[in-house]
Structure formats: C-alpha cells, structure tokens
Amino acid sequence: MYQHTMEAQMRDAVNEQPAAPRTYWVIGGEYETMKFERLVRGSEVVLRPFGCCEDAQSAWRDVSDRTRSCATVRFSIACESSGASYVTGSMHG
C-alpha cells in the first residue's frame, strides 16, 4: 500500500506524466525524547542519495532493523526534486 502511495506522489496530477527525476535520502538518528522533536547532537544520520524510492526503502528497513531496540531512534525517507524537498513519510521501525 505504501508503494502505491509513493507512485501516486511521483505522478504529475495535471497530465499523469511521470514527475521530474527525484533523489531520495534516508535521514534520522537518536532523538532527545519520545516526542521526536530534536536529534541528539552527533547522532544525525544521512544515508547516501538513492535514485529510486525502492532502494531508499530497502536502506530504511536495514537501518530500522539495526536500531529497533532503541525507542528514541527514528528514520524517514526524504525526497528532493528540482530544488524542492520534502519528507515522503515518516516510517518507524
């Protein structure tokens, strides 16, 4: 279901043409509290640019599995395209 949502986001709503090429990043780290508002200094993680969402999702799963026992660690997939960027969805392991 998540992949279907991602594919919908990748389409131009006006003419149903594929969107401009996008770059995906897995970002996150350890947060100070369970409110997930501020990262602990030095815990920030940015995993390389990925050319497709599926590769970023695979990397997210890997890092989430490795940090599953840490309740204050969270990762998301961020996307950038043509100078604009956004977080595609917060996914928690």
Which amino acid type is present at position 12?
D
Asked whether residue 56 is domain-assigned, the answer is yes
- Is residue 59 domain-resident? yes
Q: Answer whether residue 63 is part of any domain.
A: yes
Q: Tell me: the pLDDT tens digits for 21-70?
A: 889 999 999 999 999 999 999 999 999 999 999 999 999 999 999 999 99
pLDDT of 3 over the 90 cut: no
Element of type H or E holding 74:
strand 73-81
Residue 65 forms part of a structural domain: yes
Q: 17 pLDDT exceeds 60?
A: no
| Domain-located, residue 47 | yes
Band (93; pLDDT cuts 50, 70, 90): very low
pTM for this predicted structure: 0.67
Q: Is residue 5 part of a domain?
A: no
User: What's the structural domain count of the chain?
Assistant: 1
Q: What is the dihedral of CA 25, 26, 32, 34, to 10 degrees?
A: 120
pLDDT of the residue at 12: 46
Range of the domain at 30: 22-91
Strand partners, 67: none
Domain contains 73: yes
81 inside domain? yes
- The Cα–Cα gap between 55 and 76 comes to 13
